[in-house]
Amino acid sequence: MNISLSVVVQTPAHSALAGPLSYRSELPLAPGTLVRVPLGKRETLGIVWDAPVTPQTAVAWENLRSVAGVLQGIEPLNASWRSLVGFAASYYQRSLGEVALAALPPSLRELNPEQVVRRLKRGSTRPAHAHDAWVAGPPLTPQQSEALRRFGSERGPFLLFGATGSGKTEVYMRAVQDLLARDPSAQALVMVPEINLTPQLEARFLARFAGPHGEGAVVSMHSGMTPAQRLKSWLAAHQGTARIVLGTRMAVLASMPRLQLIVVDEEHDPSYKSQEGARYSARDLAVYRGRLESVAQGEDRVCRVLLGSATPSLESWHHSRDLREGGRYLRLSMPSRVGVATLPAVRLLDMNLQPRKTVLSPPLLEAVAQRIARGEQSMIFLNRRGYAPVLRCASCDWKSECPHCSAYRVFHKIDRTLRCHHCGLTERVPRACPQCGDLDIAPVGRGTERMEEHLGELLGSIRRPDGSPVRIARMDADSTRLKGSLEAQLAQVHAGEVDVLVGTQMIAKGHDFRHVTLVAAVNPDGALFSSDFRAPERLFALLMQAAGRSGRDAAHSEVSEMWIQTFHPQHPLFVALRRHDFAAFATQQLQERSQAGMPPYSFQALVRAEARSQEVAQGFLQAASAAARELGQAGHVTLYPPVPMSVQRVANIERAQMLVESPSRAALQRFLGQWHATLHALRQGPEGKGLIRWAVDVDPLTI
């Protein structure tokens, strides 16, 4: 017998319209089966798909090539996984092949079937040891118990709105624990926004679950792993031996046949939205996946989704409004910290009252000095790395512009370089002005390196309780570039070997530092007046999270403080922050968004175009817009004029974008679906001449 099969293979981004390809096979193969198929001159990994052979893909029978082999021993990817991938591809306007194959570990694509079989044998898991202690976790707080009770008795999706230090992680672990105890084959997926946070989380989960379920029951999945590790984790999840998968956004597409719980920690975090390829939101896909898996597994089993945050995204906050007002998520609130720990007092320092050009105000310095003398830790938070964002010549006004980008190169004093943070161009700092030869070139503004230096000068004479000198450290993308250095630096802070830590947002996230009693944001005002309507939301979340690092240990919590140096102490954002009142902030923001018709009250997509010149990039978008109007595609959709992107040129490529907006998600999706073919055709025609690439970003996070 010889039959025809649809097979999905890795295809370039915009051959979306092609869909699966047809191959012949001697045997019928179930949809989801992994196969190797010939493609052009090479052989590649494919997935047998359900799609019927449509006229576009039908090729004359005699021209069909045959499936080359089946990856034996790997169960077919199940129907809900295939639906998830199909949905993601269509919603985010990418090809099925791109999304499906990207969701598999890279080495599965490269190994031949025999190698995979060998890996499968090797990957068999260690059984649980009876003597391992069952670490059951602490008795729950009343707020945790109540949250878990409602979690267990409803279907969700849930938004766990819990203050920093309220014990959200404990709620996640207990939810997982209950599930695994109840169902001997159930699986749970727990996602965190950053790779940096996975080792800490993995340690906590292993301590809790390795005893009862075996060490192989917990696996990680993130882009920092080696191909071999990724394959191993993926296989364990796919075969069901891994009961818990911990991972970053990529884990949302892991094959987990018995998935019954998805946790998305810090659900508001922008890292859940992919910034390249298929620009999917892992949080939104998690919610969709929960629904899919629930339908697939029938009435008696549901796949619950638990989103958690102290500062939820305004989208999730809006979705979790009262059910009677149209809410779709159930909000579970945990307003207080565990034990007697209280949230830090927020102090707004009016910089209008400080001498001009003050970087660190005297009262803040005094507060830090007191911490050092008491043996407590402080964190100084500044969202800019390097020594100074610009180097400038005093006599001719030369500035350290990047020759390839519309941006300045940042001065890094440590290795005496000028570095472009957009294209990576790195050069030694010139000794004299490259334009006029003057030696008087000086840094303008300040980044973390310069702040570290400045603090050293100002606090150098302060002694610690034992009389030893103060220790100041810096943590940012530069200081943690080497493998293992981040862990080492975190360990130092945890061990109390650092008195003052300077850093970027990296230090604000998640870490459970015990002796920090002061956190300061020295220059957060920029985001208040940004043209990006989400900037205040991000700033509020970041400051709340930074504040959350302070006073986590109840013994110190009554002296814990968050300092904010600002020229706008009356700004509603800071007023709400001082009261730890996320709800008030959210209400005010949502009101503005509703009046302006912005998300979550409208739905957006961006089309980006790149070319050697702005004219070509914008011209393509203009033509796409005109074509949509002519074809009458743009019902209920607003097409805005093309504009240059905020960093207009990167690595000599000009970038433009165009916003598309609709009050209806369905209308926007319908439009994008039709428009895709138009864009594709334009790309091939004269309007596409000189265009380097174009892409659609659905539900973009930065505009």
Q: Does 167 bind ligand ADP (CB under 6 A)?
A: yes
Stretch binding ligand ADP (CB under 6 A), from 34-42, 134-142, 282-290, 445-453: 134-142
In angstroms, the CA 493 to CA 485 distance is 12
Binding-site size, Zn ion (CB under 5 A): 14
169 binds, among ligand ADP, Zn ion, none (CB under 5 to 8 A by kind): ligand ADP
Q: Does 404 bind Zn ion (CB under 5 A)?
A: yes
144 binds, among Zn ion, ligand ADP, none (CB under 5 to 8 A by kind): ligand ADP
Report the nearest approach of Zn ion to the CB of residue 505 (Å).
22
Rounded to 5°, the CA angle 497-501-507 comes to: 115
Closest by Cα among 384, 21, 635 to 4: 21
Closest by Cα among 403, 422, 401, 419 to 411: 419
Cβ distance 144 to 171 under 8 Å? yes
Query: Residue 447 or 548: which CB sits closer to ligand ADP?
Result: 548
Contacts of 112 (CB under 8 A, 6+ apart): 36
Report the nearest approach of Zn ion to the CB of residue 223 (Å).
24
Binding-site size, ligand ADP (CB under 6 A): 15
User: Could you tell me what percentage of the chain is helix, strand and coil, using 3-state DSSP and rounding each to the nearest 5?
Assistant: 35, 20, 40
Residue type (1 letter), 599: P
Query: Residue 133 or 442: which CB sits closer to Zn ion?
Result: 442
Q: Does 194 bind ligand ADP (CB under 6 A)?
A: no
Stretch binding Zn ion (CB under 5 A), from 331-339, 386-394, 449-457, 688-696: 386-394
435 binds, among Zn ion, ligand ADP, none (CB under 5 to 8 A by kind): Zn ion
Q: Does 634 bind ligand ADP (CB under 6 A)?
A: no
Binding to ligand ADP, residues 309-338 (CB under 6 A):
338
Report the nearest approach of Zn ion to the CB of residue 409 (Å).
7
The two beta strands, 330-334 and 345-350, are unpaired
Q: Does 169 bind ligand ADP (CB under 6 A)?
A: yes
Strand partners, 605: 660, 698
Separation in Å, CA 90 to CA 98, 292, 591, 693: 11, 16, 32, 19
Report the residue from 144, 320, 377, 480 that binds ligand ADP according to the rule CB under 6 A: 144
Contacts of 621 (CB under 8 A, 6+ apart): 607, 609, 642, 656, 657, 658
In angstroms, the CA 472 to CA 486 distance is 16
Report the nearest approach of Zn ion to the CB of residue 391 (Å).
11
Report the residue from 436, 444, 488, 677 that binds Zn ion according to the rule CB under 5 A: 436
Q: Does 170 bind ligand ADP (CB under 6 A)?
A: yes
Query: Residue 87 or 398: which CB sits closer to Zn ion?
Result: 398
Q: Does 247 bind ligand ADP (CB under 6 A)?
A: no
Q: Does 554 bind ligand ADP (CB under 6 A)?
A: no
Strand partners, 654: 611, 649
In angstroms, the CA 642 to CA 658 distance is 4
676 binds, among Zn ion, ligand ADP, none (CB under 5 to 8 A by kind): none
Report the residue from 22, 25, 78, 164 that binds ligand ADP according to the rule CB under 6 A: 164
Q: What string marks each residue from 416 to 435 as x (binds Zn ion by CB under 5 A) or -?
A: ----x-xx-x-------x-x
Residue with tokens 């920690």, as numbered in its chain: 265
Query: Residue 140 or 528: which CB sits closer to ligand ADP?
Result: 140
Long-range CB contact pairs, 495-498, < 8 A, 24+:
496/375, 496/377, 497/471, 498/377, 498/471, 498/472, 498/473
Q: Does 140 bind ligand ADP (CB under 6 A)?
A: yes
In angstroms, the CA 299 to CA 297 distance is 7
Report the residue from 28, 106, 127, 138 that binds ligand ADP according to the rule CB under 6 A: 138
166 binds, among ligand ADP, Zn ion, none (CB under 5 to 8 A by kind): ligand ADP
Which DSSP category does 422 fall into?
Answer: T
Report the nearest approach of ligand ADP to the CB of residue 491 (Å).
17
Query: Residue 134 or 461: which CB sits closer to ligand ADP?
Result: 134
In angstroms, the CA 449 to CA 430 distance is 19
Report the residue from 75, 401, 512, 525 that binds ligand ADP according to the rule CB under 6 A: 512
Query: Residue 58 or 394: which CB sits closer to Zn ion?
Result: 394
- Give CA 493 to chain center in angstroms: 25
Report the residue from 166, 198, 248, 479 that binds ligand ADP according to the rule CB under 6 A: 166
Separation in Å, CA 678 to CA 431, 622, 633: 53, 12, 10
Report the residue from 393, 470, 516, 639 that binds Zn ion according to the rule CB under 5 A: 393
In angstroms, the CA 519 to CA 59 distance is 65
For binding to Zn ion (CB under 5 A), which residues are involved?
393, 396, 398, 402, 404-405, 420, 422-423, 425, 433, 435-436, 438
For binding to ligand ADP (CB under 6 A), which residues are involved?
138-141, 144, 162, 164-170, 338, 512
